[in-house]
């Protein structure tokens, strides 16, 4: 390809609707990566080439911002953890603070299902993540009256529980299902469990409907409340 054509090609590329019109920054790259991974439902499908295409830049351009694909993956976890939002209203006490934090973790991982996968694989100790998640959560709990050491324990439990829950819950494809689809899927799953040979799987067959509801939010809440109740009792 000769130079004239190349320049023209690039110019056209930048003009493309939805194309890149703003400066390329690490944050924008990470955000695009999250968008792709969350939409695709599989981290393997987030390729460097695909990410570059999404940003309308050449593949190798990204290596000017990150040393490797792995560093991009780490960046995604940092980004999501670092910007996790806790609601502004203060909590009325330890129980509500624990609830606030638990649901904040859940909400963050539901918004970025890929991050739950990431966190199940890698440990991030970046300052961004520590500030947005750990320090902020501890602050919240301590301010509501939870003693520091116990707050740390609660932090560990809550994030751990949310990671496991999202991982166990999220069906493929990750994307949000429409209401009709999810009802249909529920029906199919009940059918599956209830249709197993009942001599071999008596309990699974009998409690098929309860099993199907395991990934529902009310299950998350049940586990969370149980933990909160016990923790409160310890505080007295």
Residue 222 binding a second copy, by CB under 8 A: yes
Residue 227 binding a second copy, by CB under 8 A: yes
Cα Rg for the chain, rounded, in angstroms? 22
223 binds, among DNA, a second copy, none (CB under 5 to 8 A by kind): a second copy
62: its two tokens = 């990204």
219 binds, among DNA, a second copy, none (CB under 5 to 8 A by kind): a second copy
4: its two tokens = 């004239």
| Contacts for 110 with CB less than 8 Å, ≥ 6 apart | 166
At which residue do the structure tokens 């923790």 appear? 231
Site size toward a second copy, by CB under 8 A = 59
Q: Are 46 and 33 contacting, i.e. CB atoms less than 8 angstroms apart?
A: yes
The C-alpha atoms of residue 33 and residue 76 are separated, in whole angstroms, by: 7
Q: Which is nearer to a second copy, 58 or 195 (CB)?
A: 195
Residue 10 binding DNA, by CB under 7 A: yes
Residue 59 binding DNA, by CB under 7 A: yes
Locate the DSSP E strands across 3-118. none
Q: Are 119 and 80 contacting, i.e. CB atoms less than 8 angstroms apart?
A: no
Q: Which is nearer to a second copy, 57 or 141 (CB)?
A: 141
Region 142-171 residues binding a second copy, contact defined as CB under 8 A:
142, 148-149, 151-153, 155-157, 159-165, 167-168, 171
97: its two tokens = 């603070």
Of 68, 160, 182, 216, which lies in the binding site for DNA, with binding defined by CB under 7 A? Answer: 68
Determine the interface stretch with DNA among 7-15, 124-132, 135-143, 207-215 (rule: CB under 7 A). 7-15
Residue 83 binding a second copy, by CB under 8 A: no
The C-alpha atoms of residue 100 and residue 89 are separated, in whole angstroms, by: 10
24 binds, among DNA, a second copy, none (CB under 5 to 8 A by kind): DNA
3-class DSSP assignment, residue 2: coil
22 binds, among DNA, a second copy, none (CB under 5 to 8 A by kind): none
The C-alpha atoms of residue 180 and residue 170 are separated, in whole angstroms, by: 17
Angstrom CA distances, 155 to 68, 142, 211, stand at 31, 11, 28
Of 16, 21, 47, 120, which lies in the binding site for DNA, with binding defined by CB under 7 A? Answer: 47
For residue 87, the minimal CB distance to a second copy (Å) is: 19
Residue 11 binding DNA, by CB under 7 A: yes
At which residue do the structure tokens 């320049």 appear? 7
At which residue do the structure tokens 């980004």 appear? 79
Binding site for DNA (CB under 7 A): 1, 3, 6-7, 9-11, 13, 23-24, 46-50, 52, 57-61, 63-64, 67-70
């Amino acid at each position: 390809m000769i130079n004239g054509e190349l320049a023209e090609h690039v110019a056209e590329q930048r003009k493309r609707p939805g194309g890149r019109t703003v400066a390329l920054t690490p944050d924008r790259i990470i955000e695009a990566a999250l968008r792709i991974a969350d939409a695709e439902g599989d981290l393997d499908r987030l390729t460097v080439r695909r990410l570059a295409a999404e940003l309308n830049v050449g593949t190798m351009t990204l290596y000017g911002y990150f040393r490797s694909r792995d560093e991009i993956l780490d960046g995604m976890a940092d980004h999501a953890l670092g910007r996790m939002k806790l609601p502004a209203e203060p909590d009325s006490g330890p129980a509500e603070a624990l609830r606030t934090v638990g649901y904040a973790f859940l909400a963050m991982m539901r918004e970025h299902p890929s991050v739950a996968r990431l966190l199940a694989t890698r440990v991030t100790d970046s300052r961004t993540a520590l500030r947005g998640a750990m320090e902020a959560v501890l602050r919240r709990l301590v301010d509501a009256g939870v003693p520091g050491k116990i707050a740390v324990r609660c932090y560990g439990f809550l994030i751990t529980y949310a990671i496991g829950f999202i991982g166990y819950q999220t069906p493929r494809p990750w994307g949000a299902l429409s209401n009709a689809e999810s009802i249909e899927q529920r029906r199919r799953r009940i059918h599956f469990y209830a249709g197993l040979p009942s001599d071999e799987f008596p309990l699974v067959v009998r409690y098929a409907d309860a099993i199907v509801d395991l990934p529902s939010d009310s299950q998350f809440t049940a586990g969370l409340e149980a933990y909160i109740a016990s923790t409160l009792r310890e505080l007295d």
